[in-house]
Amino acid sequence: MTKQDVIQQAKEANVQFIRLWFTDVLGTLKSFAITADELEDAMDGGMGFDGSSITGYQDIEESDMIAMPDPSTFKVIPWSPQEEPTARMICDVRTPDGDPYVGDPRHILRRALERANEMGFDNFYCGPELEFFYFKDSKGTEPLDYGGYFDLTTLDAATALRRETVQALQQLGIKVEYSHHEVGISQHEIDLRFDDAMTMADKVMTYKTVVKEVATRHGVYATFMPKPLIDQNGSGMHTHQSLFANGKNSFFDADAEYYLSDEAKAFIAGQLRHARELSIIFAQHVNSYKRLVPGYEAPVYIAWSRRNRSALVRVPLYHPGEEKATRMELRCPDPAANIYLCFAALLHAGLEGIEKGYELPEPMERNLYNLSAEERQKMGIESLPADLGEAIKEAENSELLHKALGEHTYSRLLQLKREEFEDYRIQVTPYEIEKFLPVL
């Protein structure tokens, strides 16, 4: 898509407004609208905004920022009024002199992809599976249905919502592989077909917006909160990954055990070795660690397997021996993560493994939840951090994370997470009142 292609499409669709999207350091989508008359100027020089008002961005004395629309992301929003169609474009954030802004999550992912290119890899493909809940409204957790995994019954009251969401995604050019009810009551999943990391990250931001928009139009609320219900599974974002070079899957070796190449093994080993220090990225909120507990399908033990879903990394065996299907699946991220930073950090960890020749340990095919702490210790199996405070301490000593994010975003993210955890620590919960007030 060129500038002229965008202008022509906007005219043909009678687009009246264009929403310019970008994300803050926590992955919250930000947006402002311009009229169609401003589109050409916006694509030539970008549109200015106040960076000091964006979480994790600039200080007030250096707050001028530029949102530069990416022509390839121009799409007409399906739910915009027919009489006044609105489009959206995802932006790169730049400084007034035109340089990429170091705190832009999209730029951080682009830097990671450049490292992969320098190491000879053309593409980093990702296929995240984002789960979410439907509730009656945003003020509570009253479920919309009581269905279970893959249910096709009258209990699954959200089938129409999922169908309309899939249709909207397809209108936006986003291919969908599956949609189904998940394990938890009122929990659902729509899986996108894998794509290169940058395109997929843009799609995920669009996907989350579409899910929420369609729900709102039907008078209900959709949430990507990792663990909203105490007695149900939390929502995960299992992330499938593979590296390609010269059009071939670098993870595949037809003659190797498990069909995994040396690069694949080292890449997986890199993500396992650095998992604890990257937890602040793929599980960034205090609530994320309510999901990462044994017994609710979320993996917490740092190991890998071929079939065993209790391990942190799984190598799917749906199509064994097929080159394009060979990949790794990291099962610990949740859908509240900043998708750009998540992909960037995971890629850096995997590339670190390849660059430094990390060795992959033997797979753990036993149910790790059934092992005692002593057995896991004897087998050398570590756990992810138990809470955000522990994750912060791991991140504070992480050279890899500093390299992946850059000094600006690394320091800003740590500051924000310390504030979140300190605020969380001083809360007195209903559980504490019910348990301790009557007896102490």
Q: Which of 307-321, 341-355, 416-430 shows the lowest per-residue confidence on average (mean pLDDT)?
A: 307-321
Q: Which of 40-49, 250-259, 305-314, 427-436 shows the lowest per-residue confidence on average (mean pLDDT)?
A: 305-314
Tell me 384's DSSP state: -
d(CA 169, CA 192): 9
Of 24, 182, 253, 352, which one is the catalytic site residue?
182
332-367 pLDDT per residue, tens: 999 999 999 999 999 999 999 999 999 999 888 777
% of the chain surpassing 70 pLDDT? 95
Of 5, 38, 41, 50, which one is the catalytic site residue?
50
189 is catalytic: yes
274 is catalytic: no
Report residue 383: phi and psi, to 5°. Answer: -115, 160
Of 191, 202, 329, 334, which one is the catalytic site residue?
329
131 is catalytic: yes
291 is catalytic: no
* CATH architecture, range 110-430: 2-Layer Sandwich (3.30)
Of 131, 145, 156, 195, which one is the catalytic site residue?
131
Closest CA relative to residue 130, chosen from 348, 342, 325: 342
The two domains 3-95 and 110-430 share their CATH topology (first three levels equal): no
- Helix (H) / strand (E) containing 266: helix 262-273
263 is catalytic: no
Sequence ranges of the domains in the chain: 3-95, 110-430
Q: What integer pLDDT is reported at residue 156 of this predicted model?
A: 58
Q: What is the CATH number of domain 3-95?
A: 3.10.20.70
Q: What integer pLDDT is reported at residue 325 of this predicted model?
A: 82
| Residue 265 Rama label (left phi>0; alpha psi -120 to 50; beta) | alpha
Confidence category of residue 129, pLDDT binned at 50, 70, 90: very high
Is residue 355 a contact partner of residue 119, using CB atoms and an 8 Å limit? yes
Is residue 387 a contact partner of residue 289, using CB atoms and an 8 Å limit? yes
329 is catalytic: yes
| Residue linked to tokens 């950090």 | 345
50 is catalytic: yes
Q: Which residues contact 199 (CB under 8 A, 6 or more apart)?
A: none
Of 238, 240, 314, 412, which one is the catalytic site residue?
238
Of 110, 111, 180, 309, which one is the catalytic site residue?
309
pTM: 0.95
d(CA 245, CA 55): 36
151 is catalytic: no
Of 240, 291, 331, 412, which one is the catalytic site residue?
331
48-96 pLDDT per residue, tens: 998 888 888 877 556 789 999 999 999 999 999 888 899 999 999 999 9
d(CA 64, CA 94): 9
129 is catalytic: yes
